[in-house]
């Protein structure tokens, strides 16, 4: 076991630096992961911008982590083995004690860390994680392509499962980026009539290739009118934070249609109560999901050949990779790799 490892930590507000840290030993119920890949999520930008630069040690972002178990802490269940490839997403492991856990609603546990925000994440060669948050990674997925599925993948997969639509129904994906490009793939393979709504003609070819039957450019036409012409949407999966654009699209919901929110912004959503009541429409927020649901997402991704489109950069270029994600120029998802960590468990 190496005595030290590299991390990309928040050195100043909004900035990352590469640093060397002593490799920790896992406590009871924890494991030490030798990280192989970590996806860069849009939420990472907020974590980096909000982190207290005076914190010691400085916060390490990243919550789409894939690696191999290097060390087991006391009391870790026997299903987890040294050398096993595992992942961990945004939800860092439930407590098994609170009211939500006792109901089996582990994704709503109030005592679990948010990886990369309230505890250190995967922009690192080594990482401590709770065993209750671990996800088993299928052999068919490379670490680099599995990583984004642990957050963007499960978020969109679960949203579609909750959306109330049935095979053949019209499902809209609003926002064709890091989340939306996976939502299109899942929706198509679930048998929905898939409509992508984006801004600009440059994304139209990608949207159709990824699974959309129809692409609507909101810069050139009224998406509500177009969708009403198609009979309305049984469900809208929105991945964007522009509440005005989200609110405007609710006019396209068919009776008993459902709007599923994935963008976790803080601005109020201005919707007409009358439109919601008359037609029995509904609005639903959807968080990522449990480790079991994450494994279901990965299994479906293997079964249905769903893969994220990724750009790969090494850990030492973490700042550059985050900047590329922020710019909107990334090929959907950025992923960091830790080449030296790949054999750290051996």
pLDDT in tens, 117-173: 999 999 999 999 999 999 999 999 999 999 999 999 999 999 999 999 999 999 999
SS3 content of the chain, % helix, strand, coil (to 5): 30, 30, 40
**H or E element: which one contains 318?**
helix 318-327
Average pLDDT over residues 281-296: 95
What confidence tier does 199 reach under pLDDT thresholds 50, 70, 90? Answer: very high
Whole-number percent of the chain with pLDDT over 90? 89
Average pLDDT, the chain: 94
What confidence tier does 66 reach under pLDDT thresholds 50, 70, 90? Answer: very high
Give me the numbers of helices (H) and strands (E) for the chain, helices first please.
11, 15
What confidence tier does 328 reach under pLDDT thresholds 50, 70, 90? Answer: confident
Q: Give the model's pLDDT for residue 329.
A: 86
Q: Which domains does the chain have, with CATH numbers?
A: 4-150+290-343 (3.90.180.10), 153-285 (3.40.50.720)
Whole-number percent of the chain with pLDDT over 70? 98
Q: Give the model's pLDDT for residue 342.
A: 40
Average pLDDT over residues 309-322: 97
Lowest mean pLDDT among 23-27, 131-135, 270-274: 270-274
Q: Give the model's pLDDT for residue 52.
A: 85
Using alpha carbons, select from 150, 135, 129, 132 the residue that is nearest to residue 95: 132
Whether this model's pTM surpasses 0.75: yes
What confidence tier does 341 reach under pLDDT thresholds 50, 70, 90? Answer: very low
The residue ranges of DSSP E strands in the chain, in sequence order, are 4-12, 15-22, 30-40, 64-72, 85-88, 126-130, 135-136, 170-174, 193-198, 214-217, 233-238, 253-261, 282-285, 310-314, 333-337
161-186: burial string, b at 16+ Cβ within 10 Å, e else: bebbbeeebbbbbbbbbbbbbbbbbb
Q: Give the model's pLDDT for residue 278.
A: 93
């Amino acid at each position: 076991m190496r005595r030290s490892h590299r991390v990309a930590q928040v050195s100043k507000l909004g900035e990352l630096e590469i640093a060397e840290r002593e490799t920790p030993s896992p406590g009871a119920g924890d494991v030490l992961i030798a990280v192989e890949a970590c996806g860069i999520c849009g939420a990472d930008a907020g974590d980096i911008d909000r982190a207290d630069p005076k914190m010691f040690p400085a916060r390490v972002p990243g919550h789409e982590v894939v690696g191999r178990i290097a060390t087991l802490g006391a009391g870790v269940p026997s299903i987890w083995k040294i050398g096993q490839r595992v992942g961990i997403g945004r939800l860092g492991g439930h407590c098994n004690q609170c009211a939500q856990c006792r109901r089996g609603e582990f994704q709503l546990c109030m005592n679990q860390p948010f990886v990369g925000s309230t505890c250190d994440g995967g922009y690192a060669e080594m990482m401590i994680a709770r065993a209750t948050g671990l996800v088993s990674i299928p052999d068919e997925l490379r670490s680099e392509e599995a990583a984004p599925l642990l957050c963007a993948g499960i978020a969109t997969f679960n949203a579609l499962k909750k959306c109330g639509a049935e095979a053949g129904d019209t499902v809209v994906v609003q926002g064709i980026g890091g989340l939306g490009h996976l939502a299109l793939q899942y929706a198509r393979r679930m048998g929905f009539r898939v409509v992508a709504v984006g801004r600009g003609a440059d994304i139209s070819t990608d949207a159709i290739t990824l699974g959309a039957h129809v692409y609507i450019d909101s810069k050139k036409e009224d998406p509500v009118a177009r969708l009403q012409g198609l009979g309305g949407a049984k469900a809208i999966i929105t991945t964007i934070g522009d509440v005005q654009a989200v609110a405007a699209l609710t006019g396209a919901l068919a009776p008993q249609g459902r709007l599923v929110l994935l963008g976790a912004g803080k601005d109020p959503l201005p919707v007409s109560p009358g439109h919601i009541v008359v037609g029995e429409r509904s609005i639903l927020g959807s968080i990522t999901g449990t480790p079991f649901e994450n494994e279901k997402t990965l299994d479906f991704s293997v079964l249905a050949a769903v893969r994220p489109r990724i750009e790969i950069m090494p850990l030492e270029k973490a700042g550059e990779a985050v900047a590329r994600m922020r710019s909107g120029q990334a090929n959907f998802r950025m992923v960091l790799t830790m080449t030296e960590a790949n054999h750290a468990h051996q």
